[in-house]
Structure 1
Amino acid sequence: MLMISPDALLRLRSETRAPVTLALIRPAPVKKLPRHRREAIVDALAAMMREAELTPFAIEGPGRAAIRARLCMFGWRWGQADAAADEAVQAALARVGAKRPDWKQGQPEWTQDGVTPQTRERCARCAKPLPIDDDAHWRKFCGPVCAQAAKVDRNRRRDKDERYAKEKIYRLAWAEKQQPRACKLCGTIFKPKRNNDYYCSRDCGDQSRVKAFSASRRSRGREMQMVCEAVRTE
């Protein structure tokens, strides 16, 4: 009986095996926002970054997440939506002139090159004298209560900026999808920013409210006059 050695068997298998061709992985096509829509988003982001309490970079994360979420809801792929959102956020940062600090500048003890750290004598929150010990020049708060309260305040300001950024971006994305409508007072065609926007400007809204108030006063006056006449006849 003919016997085949293991080495010969492996050689035969390698010679008879068909070569395997891997499928080419094609990158997803780049998808960009329309020019007018991108400019509107960048303008809104830049305005929010200028009004941010701490730093313009506080709007970077929530703004990118909000834009990406809205684009995904409109049918974009996650990668395409994230790339478009990042491009819009970076354009807004460049427009406001934001400069990202390096690692050393981001440290809490950094002031500037060649300057010793600031020595604190009072608590940064309650202004009480700091206890005298070896770590006094590094200490910022008098105790854990003030430290925790300052952390809560800082998180509250950060959350406020994030909520404001997300709400404004959501509203802007919603407005871009709405059909123009006519103002109920002057007939001007405009794009609503909210579902209950029926007037093209604040002036038209104020005039409409004044007219409605005057009409209601006249109506109440007529009703009171009818009541008075009814009382007189009795």
Structure 2
Amino acid sequence: MGYWSGYDDYRHGPTKKISLAQVFKGAPRKRLVADIVNMVRDYRRTPYEHEGSIQAGIRSALCLAGERWPVADDEARGLLAAAFKKTGVKRPGWWEGQAEYTAPREVCHWCFIELPEDLRRSGKRSAYCSMECVNRAIAKRVEGPKGQGDPVYKACHAAISRLRAKPRDCEHCKKPFRSDRSYQRLCSKACRDAARTTVEERCCEHCSTVFRPHVSKKSEDAGAGKFCSSACRWAYERKNPPTYECACVLCSTPFTGERKNAIYCSNRCLQMFTRMRQGEWPKRMNTPLFDYYFITLAKRQEPTPLTTEIFDSWFQDAA
């Protein structure tokens, strides 16, 4: 126990919630809650318009019956809370009771005049029309610490950023707007949706069904979006296998392959290149080998593993 132990409870009251014994229990409490629910539902403007009179009446009746005032007040609050919970109504917060909550989005939340056009066309619209209204709202409406959690302070902070921004033209509708984001190019969600690149409808190359492909412009330029489904694409490729223009890695001969990564034009080049990679050099000079050393490797600018002995032996064999 420290020197200041118990001071907070003495100065601000106990932090632990004190619970008092209920006066009504069981079936009598259920009947009383049902009667309060019927009274609460009989309202004209809000379900809470009879809360004060019901609580005062229950508290007065309990006090006249001999209960202490704290017990009577706690019992009245508990009965009303059970009745509101049964009706399913939600108590409005402090922000929902302010004038800004019901103000239209087209008017200033302080002076209630219509906002300028450039402040209304910035996606999330400004709540104030000028810095004067913002300063008055901060001074009069914001109470306590001005934190980011306060709705009025958040609206004022956003309005200050938007009022300080320079007007710019929307890239779609060419109308002026002001935004607190420097990278924003469009003034509203409608302009953003209209400015999006849409792919036109087309017929499937396999089944001729009209569809709209869900591909980007870049993918469409690369050849995507030709079929309505994967099944149609597979069926089309089985009947018409795709071909690709390739060049042989050994003799640099252009050829048409069925795969993008095809690197040999014939089985002869495949076997010869495999033996060369294993260290088995051909004994005689031939056309593919000559093209590989003096054309293919020259294009790649790679040092050739050709030695003087191998080169002399080819010419001796040829002679």
Greater RCO, 1 or 2 (C-alpha within 8 Å, sep 6+)? 1
Aligning the two structures, in what range does the TM-score lie when normalised by the shorter sequence? Answer: 0.3 to 0.5
TM-score in terms of structure 1 length? 0.35
Between Structure 1 and Structure 2, the one with more helix by share is 1
TM-score in terms of structure 2 length? 0.26
